[in-house]
Amino acid sequence: MADDSPEDSAASARHRRGLRFRQRDDHAVELFKEARASLADVARVDRILLELGRFYNPVLDAPIVDLPTRRRVLEALAAGNLEEAGRLLDERLALYAGVRGEE
């Protein structure tokens, strides 16, 4: 329909922005899942954690995965301690999921 009013266009634009925001949230959760499934591939987990470090957690006023956590995960993986690395990822996901649940 070419006869959309400006009000409809504005509402549609707001809706699309909201969808992009939710996609970003879902993308972070998907990255956590991918990291958890890729614990045997240290380089892949490192890239995922780097990307998660670019997302912001407003409750913590910090990245979703901060640098000290990233280092601890990578150290655990280098030592062959997949359980510890997975636990650290789960903790950060829980902190992030708590933020998402409050919205």
Summarised one tens digit per residue, pLDDT across range 45-100 is: 999 999 999 999 887 899 999 999 999 999 999 999 999 999 999 999 999 887 55
Structural domains counted in the chain = 1
Amino acid at 68: P
pTM: 0.71
The answer to whether residue 1 sits within a structural domain is no
The answer to whether residue 46 sits within a structural domain is yes
SS3 at position 55: coil
∠73-74-78 over CA atoms, to 5°?
120
**CA 68 – CA 52 distance, rounded (Å):** 13
Structural domain harbouring 54 = 6-102
